A and B are shown apart, each in its own frame.
Chain A
């Protein structure tokens, strides 16, 4: 996997269950390794015009948005 790996759609690296597992793994890794508690698949993520789950890079960008913005999105 790299930053361009597609997570969502026909050319996704994962099937639907694999993507669920991946998102939960990322959430738990953020909490375990960085002490950052975020909920990735929330209303905000689902309402984005461009899904934050389309590629690894898009997801990384979304996580940065969540963890750097002063929006109470789950920073510890």
Chain B
């Protein structure tokens, strides 16, 4: 399996989670990971760079000859009022979150189609449906991932590949470390289940999506926390 953004946060958790289940895990991230494990191999890749993504999947193909699962975790979040958000920030967020998800999914599907089996799970967010202030661009990029996933699900079904999204609530990761506590609490207060998300909440849903028995589940989004 391949996990993008495996250096930290949800990506690292999922990589470790599947390593614990005996999977061979390929990872990628822009920075050098500060952790290692048996059966884990990580490459430095910017998912928004098409050439780097093509080379990453070519390397997986040459070393393993197959890919069963892709988890698109690589993502960036910049939270700011819309009036104070520069165009370059918009490009940066969309490049990683949307273009990156597309490029890695495309190259992964080329490899998965050989075995007529594949599971692609991408990370969404509750930021879109919750209309969280200060997250306009991030929310738009995550909603774009949902739209992308639904279309890819229709195109990839012919190859035995499913595409789904798990959309977490705020979780205690680097992504929200700079967000004021009151703001996070205000979001939690609007959830049906009033607590911060846990990494295990995400892996629980990913486990469901990647099961061989989940071949009838595609183009779906599961929002955590009762959103």
Contacts and interface: CB of A to CB of B under 8 A. Distances in A.
Interface of A: 17, 21, 24, 27-28, 31-32, 37, 39
Contacts of A37: 54-55, 58
A63 B110 CA distance: 19
A23 to B, nearest CB: 10
Interface in B30-55: 54-55
A37 B58 CA distance: 9
B213 to A, nearest CB: 25
A64 to B, nearest CB: 21
A24 B61 contact: no
Contacts of B158: 17
Interface centre among B61, B62, B110, B158 (most CB of A within 10 A): B110
A31 B113 contact: no
Given A24-B110, A37-B58, 12 more contacts: A17-B158, A21-B113, A24-B113, A27-B110, A28-B61, A28-B110, A31-B58, A32-B61, A32-B62, A37-B54, A37-B55, A39-B54
A73 to B, nearest CB: 12
Interface of B: 54-55, 58, 61-62, 110, 113, 158
A75 B110 CA distance: 20
14 contacts: A17-B158, A21-B113, A24-B110, A24-B113, A27-B110, A28-B61, A28-B110, A31-B58, A32-B61, A32-B62, A37-B54, A37-B55, A37-B58, A39-B54
B42 to A, nearest CB: 22
- Of all A-B residue pairs in the complex, the 7 with the closest CB atoms, nearest first, are A24-B110, A17-B158, A31-B58, A37-B54, A37-B58, A21-B113, A28-B61
Contacts of B55: 37
A28 B113 CA distance: 12
B170 to A, nearest CB: 38
A67 B158 CA distance: 31
Contacts of B113: 21, 24
Nearest to B114: A28
A27 B62 CA distance: 14
A32 to B, nearest CB: 7
Contacts of B58: 31, 37
Contacts of A27: 110
Contacts of A17: 158
A27 B61 CA distance: 13
Contacts of B54: 37, 39
A32 B60 CA distance: 12
A21 B62 CA distance: 19
Contacts of A28: 61, 110
A28 B158 CA distance: 19
Contacts of A24: 110, 113
A15 to B, nearest CB: 11
A27 B54 CA distance: 11
